[in-house]
Structure 1
Amino acid sequence: MSVLQHDVLKARQRAERDAYPETLGLRVHRAISWLGRAEKEVGTGDLDAAFIFYWMAFNAAYAGELGDSQGDASSARDDFRRYFGLLLKADSKQAIYDAVWTRFPGPIRVLLDNPYVFSPFWQAQRDGGGNDWRAAFDKSQTAVRSALARQDTQTILQIIFDRLYVLRNQIMHGGSTWNSAVNRDQLRDGVDILAWLVPIFVSLKMDQPELDWGQPFYPVVEA
């Protein structure tokens, strides 16, 4: 199994789009467009831009709008739980399972061990709490180890995207510098993981267009 590329997904979408419900067709079309842009940035080596465009592809395919501020993290977490449950229900060929447990166990473990994508770490820095975040991080890592031992795909997906959401907020809210040396590790791992998983998410929608994937938050409006 290799990464699903934009060109492959686009060719499939063109061949099948007349059979999709209008709302699903719009989501798939938008998501694939951003995947293509993300791949171009990977080719240039711009990890910041690649991460942003992969996240936009994720949002485009997503069933509801993710929050635009860090205060919406708990709401986004609930949305992730519902969304990943639906994706795993649609994943009869276990493509997500294969990506998580066979293709990317290394980068996933490295990302989940990285405190710089753990929200309480940054809260402690803002509040002057020093190492107050460590107890929460240790507790979270216990949950991670338990989910890894059980090969609990849904829980691991939720934790991965909870951590990636921190990175997303850091970049989108101007909390990092473009091409900064200090966040290369988490950006590299984040891009690698999104490059595998987001195309699978889009493909699963096309596999099962009869499922209720939700209404686009921004539908097309005829002028």
Structure 2
Amino acid sequence: MGLRVHRSISWIGRAEKEVEDTDAQFVFFWIAFNAAYADERALAGIAIGEKATYADFFTRLVRLDNKKRIYEAIWQQFSGPIRLLLANKYVFSPFWQFHNGVQEHVDWERRFGAAQKVVASALASGDTVKILSLVFDRLYVLRNQMVHGGSTWGGKVNRHQVRDGAAILGFLLPVFVDLMMDNPNEDWGVPFYPVVEE
């Protein structure tokens, strides 16, 4: 857990230095998120996949969050940006699958409508874990756009989702790390690429 937290804090610190460059800030925050949650068991095929791994991570964090810091961030501080992000088709994976010619996603609009019903239900019931999972699904699409060269650095198109995404990550990640440090006996999984002494 110490290595995982140390790595995450280092990337959070780097992201916080990028006050003028939200593209870089978002990418650095995403690396911090990976350092915090990623479990080597997923790589080995023991866990059931990346999204399941971070859903498990969110469930654990929300359970341990006695002060309700995550809840307040989602339902008060960032409720507007989160709602906008979840209503944005440009961070919805089936939208891009359709535009990339994947025939199975020709019905992306129906899927988007169904996803919006899931969002509305989670918002109505105050399901923090579900909202976190939905938000990070959308942020993952944004991460893919950026890391795989599907956007222009400092571009003018769709800047609000990068700005809002960086702000959401910038608030939540330090809370996640604090909760991990407050609960060192939890099984946080095996970090990727452990330090190997030669």
Query: What secondary structure is seen at the aligned counterpart in 1 of 2:17?
Result: helix
RMSD of aligned alpha carbons: 1.9
- Mapped to 1, the partners of 2:41 and 2:88 lie a distance apart of 23
Q: Name which of 87, 105, 130 aligns with 2:79.
A: 105
- Mapped to 1, the partners of 2:40 and 2:130 lie a distance apart of 21
Deviation per CA, 1:14-40: give whole Å up to 9, x if none.
xxxxxxxxxx11111111100010001
**Is structure 2 residue 192 aligned with structure 1 residue 217?**
yes
Once the two structures are TM-superposed, the CA of residue 128 in structure 1 deviates from its matched residue by 7.0
Once the two structures are TM-superposed, the CA of residue 131 in structure 1 deviates from its matched residue by 6.5
**Contact 1:34 1:53 (C-alpha < 8 Å) held by counterparts:** yes
Query: What secondary structure is seen at the aligned counterpart in 2 of 1:181?
Result: coil
Query: What secondary structure is seen at the aligned counterpart in 2 of 1:49?
Result: helix
Give unpaired runs (5+ residues) of structure 1.
1-23, 69-73
Q: Name which of 25, 32, 35 aligns with 2:2.
A: 25
Please show how residues 1-223 of structure 1 align to structure 2 within 5 Å. 24-41=1-18, 43=19, 45-64=20-39, 75-127=49-101, 132-223=107-198
- Mapped to 1, the partners of 2:91 and 2:126 lie a distance apart of 22
TM-score of the pair, normalised by structure 1: 0.82
Identity of aligned residues (%): 56
- Mapped to 2, the partners of 1:85 and 1:184 lie a distance apart of 30
**Contact 2:55 2:129 (C-alpha < 8 Å) held by counterparts:** yes
Once the two structures are TM-superposed, the CA of residue 76 in structure 1 deviates from its matched residue by 2.1
Deviation per CA, 1:145-184: give whole Å up to 9, x if none.
0100111000000000000000111111111111111120
* Amino acid corresponding to residue 29 of structure 1 in structure 2: H
- Mapped to 2, the partners of 1:183 and 1:62 lie a distance apart of 27
- Mapped to 2, the partners of 1:210 and 1:55 lie a distance apart of 25
**Contact 1:47 1:188 (C-alpha < 8 Å) held by counterparts:** yes
**Contact 1:31 1:57 (C-alpha < 8 Å) held by counterparts:** yes
Count of aligned residue pairs for this structure pair: 193
